[in-house]
Structure 1
Amino acid sequence: MTTDDIYVGEFIKPCTAQLAFEVGENLRWEDRREVEETTGLCATAAVLESYYRSSYSVFFRVPNGKTAGVAGVTPDNRIWMLCTQASEEYPHTFVREARRWLKSLPYEYLWNHADMRNESHIKLLKLLGFKFLRYYVINGVPLIEFMKLCVNR
């Protein structure tokens, strides 16, 4: 499987640095808090760093044309997603598109951690079939490690 096989559609496209910057400037409060408190970087720098460290990244739009978020996977299978308020305007479309993208990824497994206070991301991870492994704290932030075994290969 190549990156040509990864799902793109009306609402999900390959990301650019400009789109990553736009999302970084407009993050949801919970996402901004998570990246700033765990990385020590300003939100925009954290989003751009994630974008540049990724093997592949995408941006999400919702039906009204607003940019809803960016996501990617790093070479060590670390999946990440950061969102704007627009992600909450069309939750069913957002989850459906995220699920399609996730199913098309060419990885045996995906993993990362999320801020346990970021309730919408915890809910999304559950809807996407991720399993929660352990709790820990980094820089005073309560995190939960998650993982998904992928059988798409």
Structure 2
Amino acid sequence: MGIFVVKRFISRRLLTDLSITQTVLLNPDQVDSVCQRQDLAVLVATDCPLGPNEAAKRLGVRRVDFDHMRRLNWVTPFDFNRLPIGGSGYQTMKVPLFCVGEVDALPAAHPEIDWQQLRSIQGGRKSPLTALAKVTDSSNNASQTTANNA
């Protein structure tokens, strides 16, 4: 199991993290128990990580449309991965990681969206999610202003 899946299993309370440092230590009996589960393959497949490009590709939408889904809080990263940029390796960028199961659930969770239309939009065209994202951004700014004035 990759560390991402292990972290997901810990968040699902299938495993307990016994570590006091950044190294993950697990109870061997719990690991044996999880490995005996009939649905282990499904759990692992559901909890596999996807970067934003892979998530957009899996949904069959453009990356910009997936970014709107993030702004709408339809999907949130479970974790982040640091990847080196440039030749030196000293600079890194944080790449959000999403779970396959959560990405796959988006169309069913948002039947108000014409997914066939969204998947057929060509590059350079405005996303129908843009208007929704602007409404959400405006309401977030309004509530933040209200909270700041209180």
Query: How high is the TM-score relative to the length of structure 1?
Result: 0.25
Which of the two has greater helix per residue?
A: 2
TM-score between both structures, scaled by the size of structure 2: 0.26
Higher RCO (Cα < 8 Å, 6 or more apart): 1
Greater Rg by CA: 2
Normalized per residue, the structure richer in strand is 1
